[in-house]
């Protein structure tokens, strides 16, 4: 009986110590004090990453003080896509609102259509191709948040002339964010 009581006391002490440590950890503390947020589509920041490829950042680490995840939207023209790449520090998730195409996950291709969803763990090769006749609209995000700053650095803000970046500059920025292209 004494050993069981001692075990329960140690277990409870360990759990309490874990909770206290988590509450003083900056990541957990910011989540504990973060407030909910609702944004309208017009409140997002839109950047053109290619001449006719807008990405809108809706929820982000920088502007909304959200550490755990970000949320963005993108439109891909017919024949357009997202090059095959992987993220070394972020998981990525997708929801396809409109259109159809192909989703590459490692070495396997999946057909996608309106309502399809995908989850990509960090370190996993993935890419998207719009094979349809119309625009593909998708919602995506990262966990933890922060990778959305990549689009701020490579894109041209909506309302300004599109400026393409040299390949070496894109690679340098991608390296900064732990993104590797195949």
pLDDT tens figures, 45-94: 999 999 999 999 999 999 999 999 999 999 999 999 999 999 999 999 99
Cα separations in angstroms, 26 against 29, 33, 34, 65 = 5, 10, 12, 12
Write down the architecture of domain 41-181 according to CATH.
Answer: Sandwich (2.60)
Domain ranges across the chain: 2-33, 41-181
pLDDT-derived band at 110, boundaries 50, 70, 90: very high
The angle that helices 2-24 and 26-33 make with each other, rounded to 10 degrees, is: 80
The pLDDT, as a whole number, for residue 35 is 81
Tokens of 47: 């950047």
Handedness of CA 27, 29, 30, 34 (dihedral sign): positive
Q: Percentage of the chain with pLDDT > 90?
A: 80
The pLDDT, as a whole number, for residue 41 is 86
The pLDDT, as a whole number, for residue 99 is 98
The pLDDT, as a whole number, for residue 3 is 52
Supply φ then ψ for residue 156, to 5 degrees: -105, 125
The pLDDT, as a whole number, for residue 8 is 37
């Amino acid at each position: 009986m004494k050993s069981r009581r001692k075990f329960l006391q140690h277990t409870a002490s360990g759990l309490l110590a874990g909770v206290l440590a988590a509450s003083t950890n900056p990541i957990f503390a910011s989540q504990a004090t973060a407030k909910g947020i609702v944004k309208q589509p017009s409140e997002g920041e839109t950047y053109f990453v290619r001449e006719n490829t807008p990405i809108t950042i809706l929820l982000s680490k920088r502007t909304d003080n959200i550490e755990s995840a970000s949320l963005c939207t993108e439109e891909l023209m017919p024949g357009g896509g997202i090059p095959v790449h992987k993220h070394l520090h972020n998981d990525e998730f997708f929801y396809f609102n409109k259109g159809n195409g192909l989703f590459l996950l490692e070495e396997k291709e999946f057909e996608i259509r309106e309502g399809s969803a995908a989850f990509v763990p960090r370190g996993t090769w993935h890419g998207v191709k719009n094979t349809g006749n119309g625009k593909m609209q998708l919602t995506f995000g990262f966990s933890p948040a922060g990778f959305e700053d990549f689009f701020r650095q490579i894109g041209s803000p909506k309302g300004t002339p599109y400026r393409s970046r040299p390949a070496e500059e894109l690679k340098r920025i991608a390296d900064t964010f732990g993104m590797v292209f195949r």
